[in-house]
Homo-oligomer: A and B are copies of this chain.
């Protein structure tokens, strides 16, 4: 069936491009019509909130090179379409009543197979790196003092040499120029606003745009002082106004925030619909731009002097460096 597949690669998966699987790849591309022969080895990760589960296993009885290697299956329940709802709420759906009190009923339903699909992502064969990437990683909240920022984080940023060429390509109109929603190319206060790759642009209910500042010397909120207030206010006002104009979402319906730590060290601002809660809008990672502006107005050096909490994951090089710095073991016992 693979020949019927679309050729476009989802962006989320594209990030794994750099993983070399040559040693695993079967010469004959297998054709999956069912999960016949699949043996579950273990559950790597569960997300009850989003109804998804990641499983490691292998296909037995397959004589290809890949037969003994691991595979990863990510199972996700799909969201209801309006059409499916019309089909499910009929006599074709058997109900099993779990509970009734007055006007309230709870049922387990068994809708027709074709109205209740599951999305599966298969990585076959899967390397150790895939397995690591898709396994649950413990997370820890780190209190980064000003000293730890200078001694650990700043060195980490410099050593890691994060590739920002893709950001400069956008700022120089070499890439994604057709996606730009708003731009202000002022060298001090300018920024480019465009849809985030995580947004499918199909509905404003999950609206997600990113504002990338033109200035190249601001790594994160740690660098922001009163000198940057005109820049921050410019983004806050013009970014939100262009979203109101283009998508009809009032400023008070937008969540405008920065990440700390950010995923790349070139200052950028997130604009999402308040109706939508992407993973990065939690209090341990997000900082409302309005609040950042107020804190800098209170004290220009607020973000240089204050401790900041950030979330680090098991296996993250920054977490290891932090542990080394405070001279304790990396078992989370600090």
Residues of A within 8 A of B (CB): 1-2, 4-10, 13, 16, 21, 24-25, 29, 32-38, 40, 43, 46, 48-53, 55, 57, 73, 75, 77-80, 82, 85-86, 88-114, 116-126, 136, 138-143, 205-206, 250, 252-255, 257, 274-277, 279, 281-284, 286-288, 290-291, 294, 298-299, 302, 306-307, 309, 311, 332-334
Q: Is A75's CB under 8 angstroms from B85's CB?
A: yes
By a CB distance below 8 angstroms, the chain B residues around A94 are 33-34
Inter-chain CA distance A224–B78, complex, in Å, is: 45
By a CB distance below 8 angstroms, the chain B residues around A290 are 143, 307, 309
Shortest distance in angstroms between A139's beta carbon and chain B's nearest beta carbon?
Answer: 5
Shortest distance in angstroms between A302's beta carbon and chain B's nearest beta carbon?
Answer: 8
With CB as the reference atom, state the residue of chain B lying closest to A74: B106
Shortest distance in angstroms between A333's beta carbon and chain B's nearest beta carbon?
Answer: 7
Inter-chain CA distance A85–B76, complex, in Å, is: 11
- Copies of this chain in its oligomeric complex: 2
Q: Is B79's CB under 8 angstroms from A48's CB?
A: yes
Q: Is A109's CB under 8 angstroms from B120's CB?
A: yes
Shortest distance in angstroms between A320's beta carbon and chain B's nearest beta carbon?
Answer: 14
Q: Which of B25, B36, B116, B252 contacts A103 (CB 8 A)?
A: B25
| A/B interface sample: 13 pairs, CB < 8 A | A6-B98, A25-B102, A33-B95, A35-B89, A40-B85, A49-B50, A53-B85, A77-B80, A110-B117, A139-B253, A140-B252, A294-B307, A298-B306
By a CB distance below 8 angstroms, the chain B residues around A85 are 40, 43, 53, 55, 75
